[in-house]
């Protein structure tokens, strides 16, 4: 018998590889989303080493025996980007945009934790607690996303396609409210699976309506590619959280459903 792992796990690995390829192509990670603190020594070699590590970890996530180590490595490597934002939070603690940066990279870390619960063969007693941590942590990040959409409504509205009715401001507020409601659902455990799935769909919508058109318009810019890569990482993280929540629903102590679907070997 062989098994097919959850889609969120596969997609998370692919998105991680994409972020590494972006760093190789442009000699730097997605900006401004993935900052490496300038104070760190050997900035360029560190970027190359980090990209190489993410490339191998993302690829290894597709392999069952290396899945747990790969997801753990990605979570720790992403902490480097979080630290870049923490420096900015310390310098500008009242600017919501700096907290948004922490939340965006934090959501990717919680996606990695969700992947840890999805690796076939994961039977540790800590797995349900990790699933809860991933769900609650991702929910907190969503609250920051929603606040940013509302506080920066003008900037958010500028990213909405002009042809989308009724108007751009409506969608800025609507998506902000969607983030907040989903975040509350993930935090409380009430309709958390539905919230995670709707979040995944919303991030997919952002990719199709916001980031893909920017890439088509400016295919040679790091910003356009970076935005698509970060959005793909958020899609994968939300999908992994949804898969993890489906297995470990908040009102159960054991799996709510089989993690993998058995398929007869050929």
Residue 134 falls within a domain, yes or no? yes
Higher pLDDT: 255 or 241? It is: 241
Count of C-beta atoms within a 10 Å radius of residue 251: 8
Determine contact, residues 130/161, Cβ cutoff 8 Å. Answer: no
Per the structure, the count of domains in the chain is 1
Q: pLDDT digit string (tens) for 142-155? A: 999 999 999 999 99
Q: What is the predicted pLDDT for the residue at 265? A: 35
Q: What is the predicted pLDDT for the residue at 123? A: 65
Q: What is the predicted pLDDT for the residue at 264? A: 36
Residue 206 falls within a domain, yes or no? yes
Higher pLDDT: 38 or 187? It is: 187
Residue 197 falls within a domain, yes or no? yes
Residue 78 falls within a domain, yes or no? yes
Percent of the chain with pLDDT over 70: 90
Structural domain boundaries, residue 134? 2-253
Residue 148 falls within a domain, yes or no? yes
Residue 31 falls within a domain, yes or no? yes
Q: What is the predicted pLDDT for the residue at 250? A: 60
Report the run of H or E that residue 263 belongs to, with start and end. strand 261-263
Q: What is the predicted pLDDT for the residue at 72? A: 96
Q: Is the pLDDT of residue 43 over 80?
A: no
Residue 243 falls within a domain, yes or no? yes
pLDDT category of residue 65 using cuts at 50, 70 and 90: confident
Q: pLDDT digit string (tens) for 202-250? A: 999 999 999 999 999 999 999 999 999 999 999 999 999 999 999 887 6
Burial of 257 (0-12, 13-18, 19+ CB in 10 A): exposed
Q: What is the predicted pLDDT for the residue at 236? A: 98
**Taking residues 53-69, what's their average pLDDT?**
93
Residue 262 falls within a domain, yes or no? no
Q: pLDDT digit string (tens) for 113-131? A: 999 999 877 667 788 999 9
Q: pLDDT digit string (tens) for 8-29? A: 999 999 999 999 999 999 999 9
Q: What does the DSSP 8-state code read for residue 248?
A: S
Q: Report angle CA 154, 156, 160 to the nearest 5 degrees.
A: 110
């Amino acid at each position: 018998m062989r098994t097919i792992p959850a889609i969120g796990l596969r997609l998370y690995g692919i998105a991680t590889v994409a972020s590494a390829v972006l760093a190789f192509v442009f000699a730097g990670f997605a900006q401004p989303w993935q900052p490496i603190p300038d104070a760190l020594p050997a900035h360029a070699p560190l970027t190359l080493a980090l990209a190489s590590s993410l490339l191998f970890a993302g690829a290894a996530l597709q392999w069952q025996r290396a899945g747990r180590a790969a997801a753990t490595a990605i979570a720790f490597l992403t902490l480097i980007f979080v630290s870049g934002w923490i420096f900015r939070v310390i310098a500008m603690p009242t600017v919501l945009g700096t907290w948004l940066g922490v939340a965006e990279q934090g959501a990717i870390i919680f996606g990695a934790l969700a992947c840890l619960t999805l690796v076939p063969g994961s039977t540790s007693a800590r797995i349900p607690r990790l699933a809860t941590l991933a769900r609650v942590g991702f929910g907190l990040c969503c609250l920051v996303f929603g606040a940013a959409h509302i506080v920066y409504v003008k900037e958010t509205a500028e990213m909405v396609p002009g042809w989308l009715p009724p108007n751009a401001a409506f969608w800025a507020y609507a998506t902000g409210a969607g983030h907040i409601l989903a975040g509350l659902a993930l935090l409380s455990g009430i309709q958390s699976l539905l919230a995670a799935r709707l979040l995944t769909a919303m991030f997919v919508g952002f990719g199709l309506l916001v980031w893909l058109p920017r890439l088509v318009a400016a295919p040679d810019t790091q910003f356009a590619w970076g935005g698509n890569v970060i959005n793909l990482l958020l899609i994968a993280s939300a999908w992994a959280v949804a898969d993890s929540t489906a297995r470990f629903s908040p009102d159960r102590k054991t799996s709510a459903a089989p993690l993998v679907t058995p398929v007869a070997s050929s």
